[in-house]
Structure 1
Amino acid sequence: MTEKSHAHALLGKLENYIQNEFPTDAGIGKSPRELYEPITYILSLDGKRIRPLLSLLAYGIYKTNPEAILSQAAAVEVFHNFTLMHDDIMDDAPLRRGKDAVHVKWDKNVAILSGDVMLVKAYDLLLPTDADKLGQVIRLFNKTAAEVCEGQQFDMNFESLASVNEYEYLNMIRLKTAVLLGFALQLGALLAGAEKEDAQKLYDFGMNIGVGFQLKDDLLDVFADQAKFGKQVGGDIISNKKTFLLIKALELAKGKDAEELNFWIAQKDFDKEEKVKAVRGIYEKLGIKAITEAKMNSYFEAGFAQYDAIHFKNEDYFLELKKITQDLIHREK
């Protein structure tokens, strides 16, 4: 992103908008403070604002004043952070973006209630939508919100299941991660008055890119350069998380490879580095990295084929949105 890019300017305007909606002194004049301060806190934790930026740029493909939908774009970001606040409780995650999670800094009950208020506020931020589009936007938002919850429940269910197949996993990440990216893009297009077919193609683009992003995360967790990754490499292996890599390895491993993989999965007490090294070695032997990359790239290719087929009015926004997405795809952390 260059300083002169639309994205850079829009991110600045979005940040100002969010700060005005959720000022750092939110607790002053609003009671009880414990309910409102966590909202400002989580929204200030160095989020990339990717989802609302997708909405703004998708709008810009058709109209050149995307700042007109800052409220609706902010709704996407507020909803996303609401899900993170509640996910951290369910996952008992101590950190969010390197800082104390809300339920750690305050407590679980505060985090639940503050999250509830964020969901209500997301609806509030959608209300400036033109009357002829508001019903459709709310229906699509409700569908997306329910699907994100479905994905989270599937993810939690997987922890206690003996096995998960490839279809089940890909469907889970589609729901938990990809549908919100698709909605963010579709929202921008709909608000700009894009043709229904183009709005759907943008949604499908976001869905495919979203699944690809999660497969990329699975891959980086095992094979990333530790110096660039920003968190412990091999965390999914240590926790036996049923990622695409583990699912494929369990499917393909035979004989001694299967025995060794199941041995490490069953261990309760182990040296973390030893387990990561051993399981990564099995993955390398089975060609899991190449298999995952092929699956990931198939989603990226499908997504960009859909994107390239849309009818756009403003080429600069069209090209910028494509470049930002490609840059995210090639990230190393």
Structure 2
Amino acid sequence: MKDLLEKIDSSLANLPLGEHPQNLYDPIRYILSLGGKRLRPMLVLLGYGLKNEDIESIIDPSLTVEIFHNFTLMHDDIMDLAPIRRGKPTVHEKWNNTVAILSGDTMMVKAYDQLLTGPHQSLPLAIQKFNKCAVEVCEGQQLDMNFEEFETVTEGQYIEMIRLKTAVLLGFSLEYGGLLAGMKTDQLAKLNAIGVKAGIGFQLMDDLLDVYGDKAKFGKQVGGDIASNKKTYLLIKALELAAPAQRKELDKWLSASDYEVDDKVKAVKSIYEEIGIFELTQKKMNDYYDEAFELLNQFDARKDGKDQLAEFLRRLMNREQ
């Protein structure tokens, strides 16, 4: 897997993006150079590897999902006013909002260019599935923005939002690998389901890391969700389960306008620990990963391919960034 990751990084670094104007293309190279887990192109490769062994033959089309993913990050960071991405300044901080919007738009077009590197016989279905996924990601982001204005968000609403915003792209990535491998419709649907289940678990882990992660490893501002009153699974469950005194304290911090961020994060985190929010979130995350593993165990595929995908999912479960 390390060799595959290196090949993905090398291929991304050598993409023919364009040169002029420089401040349109430099931000694209910048965000792609910041690294990341590359889990989406890896899922394409691992999905393909469930049937075929020549995984490296589809590295070029697998980059489609990484380019698209980074496009969404570039625009999400503008909407979230995020200062840091993977431990470095976000594009809109390093340049400005206008540059970030235009560079992001260009990345979306480049994602379609990369999709064209796949086999032509699979292209119509690939485009159809990619478009559906891309629209759902936008729907998820809009729901996330809407939640900022909602007084309350239910657990079910939140899970549906992260399914759209995060998980469907993981589902498409795995399914796209199967499509490139020539799998049948029913197999593709199963791969998508595995990816979506793992994707929900992945986002729940992200929620945990935002509060409990190591800033040096996480690459984003730890406690940022608490500081911005973001309605994550952790906050939703805390509001649902808090005793009257805990709810009063939570409401005080949620409505506060003049405070030290570190004080707010420490106080809210203390309430989370009293209620057992870490353990509840971890269990929810593990439940989704367990469902993904169960579906994978039932999937008819090459043993080596299944072992590789299972190992990759286990690493996602135990990540620190």
TM-score exceeds 0.5: yes
Moved over 4 A (4+): 225-232
Percent sequence identity over aligned pairs: 53
Aligned length in residues:
321
Distance in 2 (CA, whole Å) between partners of 1:213 and 1:181 is 10
- How far did 1:231 drift? 4.9
Distance in 2 (CA, whole Å) between partners of 1:174 and 1:41 is 28
**Paired residue type of 2:118:** T
Counterpart in 1 of 2:255? 266
Which segment is superposed worse, 57-66 or 226-235?
A: 226-235
Change (3 A) 1:210 1:287: same
Secondary structure of the corresponding residue to residue 148 of structure 2: helix
Q: Deviations over 1:64-84 (max 9, x none)?
A: 112221221011111111111
Counterpart in 2 of 1:127? 116
Report if the CA contact (8 A) 1:22-1:39 is conserved: no
TM-score with structure 2 length normalisation?
0.94
- How far did 1:11 drift? 2.0
Report if the CA contact (8 A) 1:205-1:303 is conserved: yes
Distance in 2 (CA, whole Å) between partners of 1:324 and 1:170 is 23
**Paired residue type of 2:117:** P
Counterpart in 2 of 1:4? none
Q: Which blocks of at least 5 consecutive residues in structure 1 are unaligned?
A: 1-6
- How far did 1:328 drift? 1.5
Counterpart in 2 of 1:330? 318
Change (3 A) 1:229 1:187: closer
Counterpart in 1 of 2:194? 205
2:307 to 304, 319, 324: 319
Counterpart in 2 of 1:62? 51
CA RMSD of aligned residues (A): 1.8
TM-score with structure 1 length normalisation?
0.90
Secondary structure of the corresponding residue to residue 44 of structure 2: helix
Counterpart in 2 of 1:8? 2
**Paired residue type of 1:254:** A
Counterpart in 2 of 1:94? 83
**Paired residue type of 2:174:** L
- How far did 1:323 drift? 0.6
Secondary structure of the corresponding residue to residue 301 of structure 1: helix
Change (3 A) 1:137 1:227: closer
- How far did 1:191 drift? 0.7
- How far did 1:17 drift? 2.0
Which segment is superposed worse, 143-152 or 125-134?
A: 125-134
Q: Deviations over 1:149-208 (max 9, x none)?
A: 111111111112111111111111111111111100000011101232222222111111
Q: Deviations over 1:117-165 (max 9, x none)?
A: 1111111111133333211110100000001111111111111211111
Counterpart in 2 of 1:214? 203
Counterpart in 2 of 1:187? 176
- How far did 1:88 drift? 1.4
**Paired residue type of 2:35:** D
Change (3 A) 1:33 1:235: closer
Secondary structure of the corresponding residue to residue 230 of structure 2: coil
Distance in 2 (CA, whole Å) between partners of 1:289 and 1:16 is 37
Change (3 A) 1:193 1:248: same
**1:1-333 to 2 correspondences below 5 Å:** 7-22=1-16, 26-27=18-19, 31-224=20-213, 229=218, 231-313=220-302, 315-333=303-321
Distance in 2 (CA, whole Å) between partners of 1:249 and 1:18 is 41
Q: Which blocks of at least 5 consecutive residues in structure 2 are unaligned?
A: none
Change (3 A) 1:231 1:94: closer
- How far did 1:225 drift? 5.4
Report if the CA contact (8 A) 2:41-2:173 is conserved: yes
- How far did 1:289 drift? 2.2
**Paired residue type of 1:8:** K
Distance in 2 (CA, whole Å) between partners of 1:108 and 1:229 is 24
Report if the CA contact (8 A) 2:85-2:220 is conserved: no
Secondary structure of the corresponding residue to residue 14 of structure 2: helix
Distance in 2 (CA, whole Å) between partners of 1:243 and 1:14 is 31
Secondary structure of the corresponding residue to residue 193 of structure 1: coil
Change (3 A) 1:224 1:94: closer
